[in-house]
Amino acid sequence: MFSLNETNKFMVYSTSVDLRKGVEPLCGLVRSLGRKPSDGSVYVYFNRSRTLMKLLHWERGGYVIYYKRMEVGRISRKVFQAHETPEHALANRLFPLYEIQMELVLSSPYQHIDESTIPINDQKNHTWKGYIWGDVDGMLEYGLVFFYDKGSRGEKVLKPKLLKRKAAIQSDGYVVYQQVEQSELYAVVALYCMAHARRYQNRKLITSIEA
């Protein structure tokens, strides 16, 4: 019934998990990564303090959960690093930054602003790529607002929208946000998207390897 051994492939979930979760929520985390929880791999989860660990494994027609609680000390990250994929290793390097950013977000009025491309057809027989902005209020005061100014993503569109804001604003690192944060006219703290940070660091790693 229980069949873990050195031939199993262990996949470590790179961020901490609330280990009150059962089979279905843990399977959901696996599926969110584009994998199948019944593929035979052993999926490893640990809590934030690394004193608890759960292993999820499909065995002979059903799921088995292995659970370990440390009575003394914490589970060493070296246990996981032996089975880490490059993506997991990269995520673990970024995790301290994520925790700092999470504390800033939770302690601040939070908003997320980003621009997205849309096709604009304002001339006969001619369509071009423009931008529309989305503004999401994380404090749930006004929800989601879109704004548009002739398809522009320039600072002349964004800066007036931020002039009276007192918020932590998460974005993709667009240079205008840096300019706003450094200006005495604004009370904005710029927070950057960890998905973009991971992508840029991954590019750096690939470039370094190729060099």
Domain extent listing, the chain = 10-84, 106-203
pTM of the model: 0.45
pLDDT in tens, 89-122: 676 677 777 777 777 766 767 777 888 888 888 7
Instruction: Please report the pLDDT score of residue 211 as a whole number.
Output: 39
Which CA distances in Å does 105 have to 153, 159, 184, 193, 204? 25, 21, 21, 12, 27
- pLDDT band (50, 70, 90) for residue 176: confident
Which token pair is 127?
A: 């369509």
pLDDT in tens, 50-72: 889 999 999 888 899 999 888 88
Q: Residue 109 and residue 157: Cα distance in Å, rounded?
A: 22
Whether 87 shows a pLDDT value over 50: the answer reads yes
Instruction: Please report the pLDDT score of residue 181 as a whole number.
Output: 74
For residue 38, which of 15, 2, 20, 64 has the smallest C-alpha distance? 64
